[in-house]
Structure 1
Amino acid sequence: MSSHKPSKSPLLILKKGESIESTRSRKAFTSLLSSHDGTEIIHHQLIKGGRWGITPEDDQTNILESIYLLSGKMTMHTTEKEYLLEPGDFIAGQPVSEYLVFTAIEDSEFLYVCSGPMYHHYSGATKKMELLAVEIEKKDGYTAEHCKRIKDLSMLVGEKMQLNSESLHKLYFGALLHDIGKTKVPESILLKPDKLTNDEWKIMKEHTRFGAEILRKTNIPHLILAADVVEQHHERYDGSGYPLSLKNDQINIESAIIGLVDSFDAITSDRVYKKGRSNKSALTEIKQLRGIKYHPDVVDIFLSILEDY
Structure 2
Amino acid sequence: MTITLLGSYDGVELIRHELKRYGLMGFNPPAAPDVFEGIILTSGVLRITYGDHTEILGPGSVVSMVPVQEAVCIVALEQAEFVYLTSTSIFKSYKEWVEKFHQMANEIAMKDGYTASHCERIRKYSVMIGCQLNLSAHDLISLSCGALFHDIGKIQIPDEILRKPGRLTPEEFDIMKMHTIYGRDLMNSPVHPFLHIGSTVAEQHHERYDGSGYPYGLKGEEIYLPAAIVAVVDSYDAMTSNRPYQRPKSKREAIEEIRTLRGKLYDPRVVDAFLKVVDTFEDT
Provide TM-score, normalisation by structure 1.
Answer: 0.82
Structure 1 39/273 Cα, relative in aligned 2: closer, same or farther at 3 Å?
farther
Matches within 5 A, 1:128-277: 128-218=100-190, 222-277=194-249
Structure 1 letter corresponding to 2:119: C
State whether residues 130 and 176 of structure 1, in contact with CA within 8 Å, keep that contact through their aligned partners in structure 2. no
Percent of aligned pairs sharing the same letter = 41
Task: Tell me how far apart the structure 2 counterparts of residues 193 and 130 of structure 1 sit (CA, whole Å).
Answer: 28
Check if 1:50 corresponds to 2:23. Answer: yes
Q: How big is the shift at 1:218?
A: 4.3
Q: Select which of 29, 40, 52 maps to 2:13.
A: 40
Q: Which structure's residues are more often helix, by fraction?
A: 2
- 2:167–2:245 contact (8 Å) kept in structure 1: no
Which runs of 5 or more structure 1 residues have no equivalent in the other structure?
A: 1-27
* 1:295 paired residue among 253, 267, 273: 267
1:125, 1:184 → 2: CA distance?
22
Please give the alpha-carbon distance, in whole angstroms, between the structure 1 residues aligned to 2:32 and 2:191. Answer: 14
Q: What is the rounded CA distance, in whole Å, between the counterparts of 1:196 and 1:48 in structure 2? A: 37
1:28-58 CA-to-partner distances (Å, cap 9, x unmatched) read 321122345544321112244433222223x
Return 246-255 or 118-127, whichever deviates more: 118-127
Given candidates 79, 91, 99, the residue that maps to 1:119 is: 91
1:256-304: CA deviation from partner (whole Å, max 9, x where unpaired): 1100110010011013443212222222322222111111121122122
| Alpha-carbon distance, 1:171 to partner | 1.0
Could you tell me which runs of 5 or more consecutive residues in structure 2 were left unpaired when the two chains were aligned.
none
Q: Is the 8 A contact 2:205 2:227 kept in 1?
A: yes
2:69 equivalent among 86, 89, 97: 97
User: 2: distance between equivalents of 1:43 and 1:89?
Assistant: 15
Question: In 2 relative to 1, CA 106–238 (structure 1 residues): closer, same or farther, beyond 3 Å?
Answer: closer
Contact 1:55 1:221 (C-alpha < 8 Å) held by counterparts: no
**Equivalent residues of 1:122, 1:220 under 8 A apart:** no
Moved more, 147-156 or 131-140: 131-140
Root-mean-square deviation (Å): 2.2
| Alpha-carbon offset, residue 60 of structure 1 | 3.4
Q: Which has the larger radius of gyration?
A: 1
Q: Which has the higher contact order (CA 8 A, sep 6+)?
A: 2
Contact 2:105 2:120 survives alignment (8 Å): no
